Structure 1
Amino acid sequence: MPRLFTRILRWGAERTLSTQFLIASSLVILIATVSAGYLTTRLVADKALSGKAGTTALLVQSLTEAEVQELGGSTRLKAASIAHLDALFGDADLQARFPHIEIWAPDGTVAYSRTKQMIGHRFSFPEGLQRALKGEIVAVYADLHADEHTFRNINTEYLEIYSPLHDQASGRIIGVAEIHEDPSGFVDELARLRVVTWTTVALFSFVVMLGLFLIVRRGSRTIEHQRQVLSHRAEEAESASKELMELRDTARRASMEFANLNETFIRRIGADLHDGPVQLMTLAILQLDELRDLTKKDERARLLDETSKTLGEALIEARTVTKSLLLPEILHLWAKDVVAEAIRQHEARTKTKVAFVSSGTNADLPPALKTCIYRFVQEGLNNAYRHAGGNGQRVRCRIDMPVIAISVGDDGLPSGTVPFAAREGGMGLYGLRQRIESFGGKLAVNKRPGGGMMLEMVLELQQADATGL
């Protein structure tokens, strides 16, 4: 049994929300309908019985109350009163409707009855009689085992209506009229009322359940649609999360590589300083030490000239190294002007020409991004000069914020010619790629079908990148 119950619960859990609601609500509304129907029909039956008792009691009171006033001082009726009551209830229609009529004295003595043998007898108090003596109008089905019924051998379960009879002068209860009514018509009417009541309750419950089901079904469809949308978005979010993790790994690797490259670059700068300006300044110090020991004026003048020349060369070397570290001339330039400045420097250094085409809008960028663009154009043109002899050098720049796309290309080395030697070395494509990827950009190196190379850089700026550091 528990296993079957578990299987039923599992089956219900697999249904849609509207189906689950239909099953659950059907059970709840069925119980509520049965309970409401039972209570309502019981209430309707009680009200119908009370109404019938009240109507019948009013009729009997109007017929008998004036004839039983003598019960106020006696437990018996005069023969004339009995005869008059026989005449009143002798009508065939009344006899058919009320087969038995008794009038009880307050002490339980039968003062009047159509069954003449009962007149003057005392019986145990029926429950209805006790309540009627307290002023209630009582309607109950006959107890066939009661003394007054066994006395007459009554086998029909009549509807007994007990109506108190009052003294017209004082209003006190002087007797009780008991009417036996054939219940067949009332039972038929009561059955009809039950059918109408049950039908009304069932119809109302069905309408309520149908309305709730339609509402829940609509909500269930909305929830199912939203669940599918959320599931789709969850899949997209999971895919985006994987891409983000990959990008984070790429950025982490790029950061590490850039740190390594930066360390290598620093060591190279240190070596340049040591081998260049430091050596020259060391030589100048030695020349100054030698100068202290000279006494001849012409030798001192010659050594001073040599020391001045050495310090000048050290200054030139220091400026050269410093220039490779800083680009102060681009700090106040806009993006397209940075590209133009890199082209101008290259043309001045190599005595070659570069075709420059720009489109889109201009933009003011942070210094780090300006340096990245400058180094990209510088490295691309250096490669074009080194490997293609400066043949067909061209730069294209398009800025559609937040996207910046720059390409540097050449036509390749003409056949039978020897490439120029590069006067300055750069950080190389590897270092350039790491620099660009550290900003979230991409670097592509492609060979052109007709010969030559094409370097393309695409930067898609975030808001923080575009507004400055």
Structure 2
Amino acid sequence: MSTLLKGPFRMVSFSHQFLAVSFGILVAGMIIIGTWIGHQIENNTVNRAAAIATVYVESILATRLQAFLRGGGIDRETRAALDRVFVEGPLSRKVVRFKLWSPDGTILYSSDELQSGRRFPVQGLLAAAFAGTVQSRISNLDGPDNASERARWSELLEVYVPLRSGASGKVSTVAEFYHSTENLGRDIRAAKRRGWALVAVATAAMYLMLLAMVRRANSTIAHQQRDLNRQLQQLRTTLGENNRMREQLRDAAVRTTALNEQFLHRLAADLHDGPAQEIALALMRLESLGEERSDAGATQGTTPRTFETIYRALNASLAELRNMASELGMPRIAELSFADTIRRAVTDFEEKSEAKVDIEVDDALAEAPLAIRITVYRLIQESLNNGWLHARGATQQVLARRDGTHALIEVADQGPGFVRQAAFDSGRLGLAFMRERVRLLGGVFEVETEPGCGTRILARLPLSLDETASA
């Protein structure tokens, strides 16, 4: 049931929810307070009427029951005097029934002569009256001693008055009388109506004050909500523009990576086919020239040594130029899987450096865009070269595994290590280029190193360009 109500209730505005709940609480409070006030009015009215009637009846009985209270019993003269008051006199219109009780529950006198002499259990209000307190209530006449009263009335004001003997002050008998509730009921109903009206007016006033406060607060909240919605819309627009710019940046990074590799391939080819060929030709001409001079019996002197020095310098330059061309170029990896690209990078390094690298590759790394494979190849190539240059002879490791939609690449060595921030601040292009390559594709690049503790290069790269866009 609460689940069924929760949906529609959630569609109502907060101010209306508050007003509905507060209305229910105020109505419940009004009912509780009104009911309590009604009971208090009824009790106070009954007690006031009973007190007035008690004083009146006691003043009448004081002169007529002196002998009885002194222990003389109710004689014929006393009974006749009581009849003149409660049966024949004007008081009979208000006190419709009068009884005198003995401590053992015997009715010593009753304005209904048929009840005189009967005996009933002493309990309830009668027992409390014998204990010395005046008792009163509006009775529905359901007691065993009320048979004759039930035949004529539906309810009466029932009052018990303890009467004390003059000598000991002990309660010797209890006077019980029944008062008509016709006027009393009318007074009680009128007082209750006034009480309910007062409670209703107070409740309505409180609700109206709450309504005014909530409407004012709701107006402020609505205004702020409109401002927030407007700002949210602006934020969404800005976010959309940022996403478009990020997609454009991602596409540019992918194109830049491909174009960069094409440029490096072309540069490597140009170096190999241009300056390298020219230097090689010059070396061949120098070699031929040296042989011709030897055959001609040239004089010994500084000329052969000069030729030899030039030859060695040109030969070293040619080797360095070819080495640069081989490093700038990249083997064709378009047909290779991601895992094979990683293995190829390690193999190329081992062939060039004649060093051994421990490699562990997750075969789940099967597919990845070309731009990501190129970046990983360059990352491993640069990391292994740096480790080989600065930590010759130290063990090197390459670990690659899949982590959901990303690849985790780790290149580690047991070399001397270095101060990380100092390396970045010094302007080392290798670390900076690796970091920017990884970040351009939405990846994360980290370097863990300390002097004397080796170095770990960590990279986390997405396995698809969609993940790159959402990174």
Task: Give TM-score, length-normalised by structure 2.
Answer: 0.52
**Match of 2:256?**
258
RMSD of equivalent CA atoms: 4.8
**Match of 2:268?**
270
Deviation at 1:255, TM superposition (A): 1.2
Aligned positions of 1:130-169 closer than 5 A: 130-136=127-133, 137-141=135-139, 143=141, 150=148, 154-155=152-153, 157-169=155-167
Tell me if structure 2 keeps the 8 A contact 1:164–1:173: yes
Deviation at 1:28, TM superposition (A): 4.8
Of 37, 48, 55, the residue aligned with 1:40 is 37
Cα distance between partner residues in 1 of 2:240 and 2:154: 89
Deviation at 1:253, TM superposition (A): 1.5
Deviation at 1:250, TM superposition (A): 0.8
**Match of 2:171?**
173
**Match of 2:333?**
none
Cα distance between partner residues in 1 of 2:88 and 2:21: 60
Q: Which runs of 5+ in 2 are unaligned?
A: 325-439, 441-471
Asked if 1:121 corresponds to 2:117, the answer is: yes
Q: Aligned in 2, Cα 1:142/1:162: closer, same or farther, shift over 3 Å? A: farther
Of 285, 295, 298, the residue aligned with 1:296 is 298
Cα distance between partner residues in 1 of 2:48 and 2:21: 40
Counterpart AA for 2:45: A
Q: Aligned in 2, Cα 1:69/1:290: closer, same or farther, shift over 3 Å? A: farther
What's the CA shift string for 1:166-206, capped at 9, x where partnerless?
23433322111122323233212211221122112222322
Of 205, 230, 242, the residue aligned with 1:244 is 242
**Match of 2:430?**
none
Cα distance between partner residues in 2 of 1:152 and 1:187: 18
Tell me if structure 2 keeps the 8 A contact 1:124–1:147: yes
Of 199, 214, 217, the residue aligned with 2:215 is 217
Counterpart AA for 1:203: V
Counterpart AA for 1:231: N
SS for the counterpart of 1:269 is helix
Counterpart AA for 2:184: F
Asked if 1:186 corresponds to 2:188, the answer is: no
Cα distance between partner residues in 2 of 1:140 and 1:37: 20
Q: Aligned in 2, Cα 1:91/1:222: closer, same or farther, shift over 3 Å? A: farther
Tell me if structure 2 keeps the 8 A contact 1:37–1:197: yes
Of 34, 49, 73, the residue aligned with 1:76 is 73
**Match of 1:56?**
53
Q: Which moved more, 1:163-172 or 1:79-88?
A: 79-88
**Match of 2:280?**
282
Tell me if structure 1 keeps the 8 A contact 2:105–2:121: yes
Q: Aligned in 2, Cα 1:62/1:267: closer, same or farther, shift over 3 Å? A: same
Cα distance between partner residues in 1 of 2:230 and 2:150: 86
Aligned positions of 1:401-440 closer than 5 A: none
SS for the counterpart of 1:60 is helix
Tell me if structure 1 keeps the 8 A contact 2:96–2:179: yes
What's the CA shift string for 1:429-467, capped at 9, x where partnerless?
xxxxxxxxx9xxxxxxxxxxxxxxxxxxxxxxxxxxxxx
**Match of 2:198?**
200
Counterpart AA for 1:242: G
Cα distance between partner residues in 1 of 2:152 and 2:274: 141
Q: Which moved more, 1:126-135 or 1:78-87?
A: 78-87
SS for the counterpart of 2:117 is coil
Cα distance between partner residues in 1 of 2:289 and 2:6: 106
Tell me if structure 1 keeps the 8 A contact 2:163–2:175: yes
What's the CA shift string for 1:388-424, capped at 9, x where partnerless?
xxxxxxxxxxxxxxxxxxxxxxxxxxxxxxxxxxxxx
SS for the counterpart of 2:168 is coil
Cα distance between partner residues in 1 of 2:167 and 2:210: 62
Deviation at 1:138, TM superposition (A): 2.6
Counterpart AA for 1:53: A
Cα distance between partner residues in 2 of 1:151 and 1:290: 154
Deviation at 1:148, TM superposition (A): 6.5
Counterpart AA for 1:50: N
Cα distance between partner residues in 2 of 1:145 and 1:299: 154
Cα distance between partner residues in 2 of 1:152 and 1:241: 86
Of 85, 99, 102, the residue aligned with 1:102 is 99
SS for the counterpart of 2:118 is coil
Task: Give TM-score, length-normalised by structure 1.
Answer: 0.52
Cα distance between partner residues in 1 of 2:256 and 2:153: 113
Asked if 1:18 corresponds to 2:20, the answer is: no
